[in-house]
Amino acid sequence: MIRPALLCIHTFVLALLISVASAASNPPRVQFNRDIRPIMSDTCFHCHGFDAKSRKAGLRLDRREDALQPTKHDLLPIVPGQPDDSEIIQRIMDVADPMPPIEMHKQLTLEQKELFRRWVAEGAVYEPHWAYAPLTRPPVPGKKKLNPIDAFIRAQLTAKKISPAPEADKAQLLRRLSLDLTGLPPTPAETAAFLADYSRTAYEKQVDRLLASPHHGERLAVWWLDVVRFSDTVGFHGDQNQRIFPYRDYVINAFNANKRFDEFTIEQLAGDLLPNPTIEQRVATGYNRLNMMTREGGAQSAEYIAKYGAERVRAVSTAWLGSTFGCAECHDHKFDPIKTRDFYELQSFFADIKQWGVYSDYDYTRNPELKGFTNDFPFPPEIEVASPYLAGRHQRTEAELTALITTMRQRAAEPTGATRYATWIDETRAYLDRVPSGWEPIKNATFEFRLRDKLIPAHPLKIEADGTLHLEKPLEFRESLRLIFRPDGGRVTAIKVEVLSEIVQNKNPVWRYPVAPLTVSASVQDAQGKTRNLKVVFAEASAKMPRFINGTEFHGIAAGWRLPTPAKKEILTGVWLLAEPLALASGESLLLTLAGEELPTVRLTTSHLGAPHPLEVASAATLAALTATTRNPTQENLLIDTWLMSTAADPAAFSRYHQTIAKLNELGGGKAMTMVTEAVAPLTVRVLPRGNWQDQSGPVVLPATPSFLPGRRESTTTQRLTRLDLAQWIVSPDNPITARAVTNRLWAMYFGTGLSAAVDDLGSQGELPSHPELLDWLASEFRDGGWDLRHLIRLIVTSATYRQSSEFRPELRETDPANRLLAAQNPRRLEAEFVRDNALFIAGSLDLRDIGGPSAKPYQPAGYYTAIQFPDRDYLVSDADAQWRRGVYSHWQRTFLHPMLANFDAPARDECAAQRTTSNTPQQALTLLNDPTFVESARLFAARILAEGGKNDTTRLRLAFQAALARSPKSAELKSLKNFLNTQRLTYRAAPAEAEKLVRIGLAPPSLGDPTELAAWTTVARVLLNSQEVITRY
Amino acid sequence: MPPFDPIQHALSVNRRTFLTQSAYGLGGIALALLQNKLTAATGGALAPSALPPGWSGHLREAHLPIRAKRVIYLCMAGGPSQFETFDWKPQLKALDGQLFPASFTQGQQIAQLQNSVLKARGPFTNFQRHGRAGIEISDLFPHIASVADDLCVIRSMQTEQINHDTAHAFMNTGSIIKGRPSMGSWLLYGLGAETQELPGFIVLNSQGKYGLQPISARQWSSGILPSRFQGIQFQARGDAVHYVGNPDGVCQSTQRQVIDEIRNLNNSLAEQTHDPEIATRIAQYELAFKMQSSVPELTNFKNEPAAMLDLYGIKEPGDGSFASNCLLARRLAERGVRMIQLYHRAWDHHSDLEPGMKTAAKDVDQATAALIKDLKQRGMLEDSLILWGGEFGRTPMGQGTGRDHHILGFSVFMAGGGVKAGTVYGSTDELGYRALENPVNVHDLHATMLALMGVDHRRLNSKYQGLDVRLTGIAGEVVKGLMA
């Protein structure tokens, strides 16, 4: 048994020695893809490549058949086997007149020249570019038992006589795996459980657990959302909000359900074209709408349609084809076989997407369908979909409301309440004797007109006995009508405006388009003429046009009532409920201010009565209940409610009731709007010469897949291909590049670098993969194994290669400085979102209650949006319900990305970003040190350490290390931090006021206990949260 | 190893080709070659003294004589009218209110005047000749007129983008494709900064009363370059630089102790992992701490004499006005910041041209001139390059009470380092519609600015998506006529 094994090793070493020796004396054959193409691409193709227009001397070097043909000057560029007769060899060797020319600043080295010479001598064998070549599964080298990834990686390491690194420390491994699969670190309990699990499948169990976690989908979404340029704002000019978060929910859910990647692709590109598309499939088509959009005044529709089209080509080609089509907008690609025609043919797949060049209706660029749009409007087409996040809150809020109403009603049963209730009924019956409808017309009113605040000469106005106001001409922009009067008994709870006349269609200049809406505001004027404003708690109308503020629809009409157009026959009614039922003192009057260019003939009435909903004030049911001699339970409840709302008998409950109603309104019934793709008759797409949208001389093109990739599909005159055809081709077995591109990007997530490092360009200017066979094997496994992303991830994270220690190996500094052979793991700084998630998770404040939902707004320096206009922008920091959500849900403002995200290299997502840079800057240090998000995390972490860390400093520091780093402190660290802690204690005991300030940073309620102790520990927590180890996954 | 860095990509191609898989194998010669290759690529072999003074970026040598060391770009956002600033058109005045000749406008791009009757709008101001060369400057700018001998006025600027957003992108990056680095990033990438305690590329904003248009952080983005080359925006409110102030309840000495303790932890980690990023991280914390004191020192104008505040016309130091920002710009220039960009958002006068121009001119005239004078008296004008101008100009045709966007001819001026002072370059036709003589497009302007900084724009490249991307884009010729 022993001998053969020894012999075997012996033979192996011998074989190695032989191969090394032969390598030294007799170098291996030159390979085109590995050795020649990169040089040619860098130095030759610019003038002698695919682009016919920039080709010089009629010489083309990218194709062998061309390179063997005589040039214009009758020279033979390449004579296989005869370097001395080959013109290119002559020219690159020519000292006086070398190729490439000196002015290109791209001289070949002696060694590169020698490679060229040898390649020609060896027969000038070309190879197809690796990424475009058909994809076949290479055999796995070596022993069958190994994870195939390890087999490929080990084969190269063995050939280079490098041993792999040992497996990472167990605790570190779990931290790595957790951060990689969920973007969250392990809890101390999870680490402890893993350390105590000695079973052979201990690690695999953790992999299963983490892959099954709903946070796995959130982690992968960060990866995907960069590629699809997901953002909350449109990007151009006013950078208005767009409504799209359900698409992000779709992505997260797709990853959590491990949706097949081919389906995932088809749904996003063409879900709307599937037979009977589901809501989910339509939501997925939000992808096509994530290009930047404009509604800048003066923008020309055709120009922006061209911009949107070009961007879609860049987006889809980077995301799915790993190719850079961008240059081909203006000219044939210089280095890759991408022709201008390919660019426009790919673009024409998307020509059916319903869109506008300019998302508004300016008088110089009409878009009738967008009539009335302002800068606050959304970006159609959109659909309304259920949002589990909103629905859950809606349900809870409704339950709160029901509970609140029940409690409020109990008031009427209490002795004092019952008396007041009975009195109110008597008073109200008397009121109805005077005012049978419950609505009293304004009486004895004086009035005045103002322009802004300035008194202006009164317009002719007649006030009829029924409260009708006859205005001879509508109010002008910024004009208002003030009516001063004293209602019955000096009391008012509700104000009603009924629109009697046809609505005036005002013509207005573009900058204040559309007309100002109808507004009603109320105040009290005393005998001296001094006024105090009254708040309106809720106002609603029987019908209205939607109004928006920065893409969010207003609920009710308190902020303005846009009358519906075209005018309807029925009388429109709007009712305003005061925040507090009003009782005027003697000498006081009610002052109502009406404004709005739409103000036509209206009837104005007020009421003593209130109601839960504005439009229910003095309803027929209410009046019936009030006048009934006996009341059934429903009537009784209605009356109690009316009493409560008319008198605010319980002011606290009254205000809580309306707060709850307002919250409920914001939740939109648990539904949300989201942008989708709607197919319409396709626009004509032409090749635009030099990308110039005004030049209509180029040929019209029809959809076709890229000419340089296998399995080309082209439209015919009778059958136009669609986005669905494109999507199906992308995920067809014909197409070799998508599987390679996606697999390569996936690999980069777990190793820091792709197998081909330029993950956004697999073209000839990119990089030949470090392990081409491995990439092809993984890509085949992906494409031919059911596009199973999770299977691929599992293969990667269970490999020994992944599990290696990430300690830097100084002995490999020379031979493999970039660690491309993967004789160790690579440390990886966390992406921006996870830098924040991690800190919050360690602090115990990360909000993991919901998966999905609208974007949240973490703390951000005030005034950061000052330069955003149309509309002006305020950043409203999320309240406690959404402040500590994960980074994947952070509001993404393209023109001014959140500084924390920007500082940690998150892309603005103006366009597809397949790769984030990783920088190391003072801005990052400042963010971790001083951003309230991180300071608040530190103080909450401190509170957690004090609460959970046992009785003394040592046990507490141990917990702190376990929570933050999943390891115990080294003794030196422990000693140093104890000293530090004691210093901080002295500091803060001497300055308790400073301690108070520090432990109150952020929205979270201050923790209990001695603030000076908490401040000292907060400072320790700041140190830990700022350490390189916390923000890096090792 | 840190994850893939596109800048290092070229280097990794070398590693790949010459080491791990190459036909060279692993022979000693190849290794030696590799060493040379690596040192050449990283510049490690060059002694710092071989670098041009003050340079610490990716360029190892000046391609051209260095005439300017820093750029101060006074960006008049919104697009000021050339007809009320630097381009005197008596014939346009004569044509005021009449139909604008269609021969000029046929088939040309137009913004908000799409589908309108085009009528000429004469300038509402008068012009006088100023300085030795008698440069015509509008009466709205008496202070700028007083430094006419320092100006090089370009009357023949042209751009390609007619809407604010894309025009700003084009003026700053030379492209409207997102992800292209801005000019400040080119300079920081190529030359580095002379300061270690402040960001090397700083952006200041102010705004006027009328004609405001939004701007975007992508105008100072580093795009495909690593984020350390991006512009850092100074804020008018709160901390001048985001997160530069200590948290409430943390004094400077505590902050120092925190940073020391972070270093202790990081050092302990470095001993174990040998991760080279850690040393960089420690250095960045030191830099951050320095910025925490250097930024407040910078923005504190206490030691500026009253006469200096008067020169700039500053009402309240640090009030976020353009005047205050100009003085801040001088202080930044003194401290070795490479690129200083001031936006003044006030120039989009589709309507109310007259009050709009008058107000905006008042905002910037005195301070602009003061900056030039102040730099000059300190001997810094000769190596500071000042650019003043908008993202485009305005139509000779009226739009209501204003003017629309215009791209075929507009005016900007340069001053300082290496610029031909006291001259006018280029001209437009008699109605100011189109640049006729010596048109200067945005790429030419970029090329010329870089040339004045000692850089051949054709040789300022970075690897991106596998391509050797010329940072300034593929076009552009140096305009010799602008250079002294």
Q: What confidence category does residue A472 fall into, taking pLDDT thresholds of 50, 70 and 90? A: confident
Smallest Cα–Cα separation from A81: which of A122, A115, A30? A122
pLDDT average, residue stretch A17-22: 38
Q: How far is A979 from chain B (nearest CA, A)?
A: 10
- Look over chain A and give the mean of its residue pLDDT values, rounded to a whole number: 91
Which has more confidence, A109 or B83? B83
Q: Percent of chain A scored above 70 by pLDDT?
A: 95
Q: Is B437 on the interface with A (CB under 8 A)?
A: no
**pLDDT in the model for residue B408:** 96
Tokens of A21: 């020796």
**Interface mutation target, options B265, B271, B459, chain A, most CBs of A under 10 Å:** B265
Q: Which residues 139-198 of B are in CB contact (within 8 Å) with A?
A: 162-166, 176-179
Residue of chain B whose alpha carbon sits nearest to that of A318: B465
Q: Are B268 and A972 a contacting pair at CB < 8 A?
A: yes
The interface residues of chain B toward chain A in range 300-339, judged by CB-CB distance below 8 A, are: none
In DSSP notation, A70-136 reads --TTS--S--TT-GGG-HHHHHHH-SSS-SS-GGGT-PPPHHHHHHHHHHHHTT------TTTSPP-
Higher pLDDT, A523 or B4: A523
Q: Where are the domains of chain A?
A: 31-121, 218-382+680-735, 386-436+625-671, 438-617, 930-1033
**Across residues B345-357, what is the average pLDDT?**
96
Residue A525: pLDDT above 80? yes
Please state the rounded mean pLDDT for residues A944-955.
96
Q: Which residues on chain B are in Cβ contact (under 8 Å) with A821?
A: 20
Residue located via tokens 């401040």: A1015
pLDDT (tens digit per residue) in A203-233: 999 999 999 999 999 999 999 999 999 999 9
Per-residue pLDDT at B450 exceeds 50: yes
Select the residue of B179, B235, B465 nearest A758 (Cβ to Cβ): B465
Q: Which residues of A touch B245 (CB under 8 A)?
A: 930
Contact between A901 and A833 under an 8 Å Cβ cutoff? The reply is yes
How far apart are alpha carbons B56 and B41 in whole angstroms? 15
Q: Letter for the amino acid at A582?
A: L
Check if B250 contacts A (Cβ < 8 Å): yes
Q: Is B46's pLDDT higher than 60?
A: no
CB contacts < 8 A (A, B): 363
Predicted local confidence at residue A814, as pLDDT: 85
- CATH entry 3.40.720 includes domain B70-236+320-482: yes
Minimum CA–CA partner of B19 in chain A? A815
Using a CB-CB cut-off of 8 Å, the residues of chain B touching A896 are 216-217
**Residues 819 to 848 of A: which have CB under 8 A from any B CB?**
819-821, 826-829
A201 to chain B, any CB pair closer than 8 A? The answer is no
pLDDT tens digits, B395-436: 999 999 999 999 999 999 999 999 999 999 999 999 999 999
Min distance A870 CA to chain B CA atoms (Å): 8
A957 contact B CB<8A = no
Q: Is A826 close to B1, i.e. CB distance below 8 A?
A: yes
Least confident of A20-24, A330-334, B141-145: A20-24
Chain B residues near residue A752 by CB distance under 8 angstroms: 1-4
Q: Which of B20, B114, B218 sits opposite A910 (nearest CB)?
A: B218
What is the predicted pLDDT for the residue at A568?
A: 56
- Chain B residues with CB under 8 Å of A330 CB are none
Alpha helix positions (H), B127-224: 142-146, 164-173, 183-191
Give the pLDDT confidence of A969-1013 residue by residue, as tens digits.
999 999 999 999 999 999 999 999 999 999 999 999 999 999 999
Q: Check A926 against B269: CB less than 8 A apart.
A: no
Statement: residue A25 has pLDDT above 60: no
Tell me the CA distances in angstroms from B49 to A403, B45, B192, B195, one per residue in order. Answer: 78, 11, 15, 17
Flag whether pLDDT at A365 surpasses 90: no
pLDDT reported for residue B22: 32
Are residues B136 and B129 in contact, defined by beta-carbon separation less than 8 angstroms?
yes
pLDDT at A474 over 50: yes
Q: Do A237 and B163 touch (CB under 8 A)?
A: yes
Residue A860 pLDDT class (50, 70, 90 cuts): very high
| Confidence label for B466 from pLDDT (cuts 50, 70 and 90) | low
Q: φ, ψ for residue B437 (rounded to 5)?
A: -95, 130
A814: chain B residues, CB-CB within 8 Å: 31
Query: Would you say residue A771 has pLDDT above 80?
Result: yes
Is A34 in Cβ contact with B21 (below 8 Å)? Answer: yes
Hey, where are the domains in chain B? 6-44, 70-236+320-482
Instruction: Give A908-960 as a DSSP string.
Output: --SS----------HHHHHHHHH-HHHHHHHHHHHHHHHHHS-SSHHHHHHHH
Among the ranges given (A91-105, A467-481, B25-39), the one the predictor scored with the smallest mean pLDDT: B25-39
CB-based contact B112 A297, cutoff 8 Å: yes
Task: Check CB contact under 8 Å for B243 and A42.
Answer: no
pLDDT at A328 > cutoff 90: no
Section A226-244 average pLDDT: 97
Cβ within 8 Å of B, A 221-250 = 236-239
Quick check: helix, strand or coil at residue B286?
Answer: helix
Let me know: does B148 contact B424? Beta carbons within 8 Å: no
Look at B19 and A867 and tell me if their CB atoms are within 8 Å.
no
Using CA atoms, how far apart are residues A646 and A750, in angstroms rounded to an integer? 63
Q: Is the pLDDT of residue B5 over 60?
A: no
- Per the CB < 8 Å rule, is B111 touching A897? no
Whether residue A392 has pLDDT greater than 60: yes
Instruction: List, for residues B269-294, the tens digit of each pLDDT value.
Output: 999 888 888 998 999 999 999 999 99
Backbone angles phi, psi at A718, to 5 degrees: -95, -25
Q: Are B16 and A917 in contact (CB < 8 Å)?
A: no
**Side chain identity at B188, as an amino acid letter?**
L
CB pair distance less than 8 Å for A911 and B178: yes
Task: Note whether B265 contacts A1029, CB cutoff 8 Å.
Answer: yes
Q: Mean pLDDT over residues A575-591, rounded?
A: 95
CA distance A636 to A166: 78
Measure A928 CA to nearest chain B CA, in Å: 9
Q: How far is A1027 from chain B (nearest CA, A)?
A: 6
- A813: nearest CA partner in chain B: B1
Asked whether the beta carbons of residue B20 and residue A694 sit closer than 8 angstroms, the reply is: no
In this predicted structure, which of A92-106, B149-163, B343-357 has the lowest mean pLDDT? A92-106
Task: Output the pLDDT for position A220.
Answer: 98
A 723-762: CB under 8 A from B: 748, 752-754, 757-761
Encode A430-455 in three state secondary structure.
Answer: HHHHHCCCCCEECCCCEEEEEECCEE
- Band the pLDDT of B468: cuts 50, 70, 90: low
Lowest mean pLDDT among A924-928, B224-228, B453-457: B224-228
CATH class of the A438-617 domain in this structure: mainly beta
Average pLDDT of chain B, as a whole number: 88
* Of A293-297, A733-737, A917-921, the least confident: A917-921
Kindly state whether A322 is in contact with chain B, defined as any CB-CB distance less than 8 angstroms. Answer: no
Contacts with A300 from chain B: Cβ below 8 Å: 109-111, 114, 162
Nearest by Cα to B245 from B193, B279, B194, B296: B296
Chain A residue at shortest CA distance from B406: A298
Q: Provide the pLDDT confidence category of residue A473 given band limits of 50, 70 and 90.
A: confident
For B291, the closest chain A residue by CA position comes to A922
On whether any CB of chain B is under 8 Å from the CB of A169, the answer is no
| Min distance A906 CA to chain B CA atoms (Å) | 10
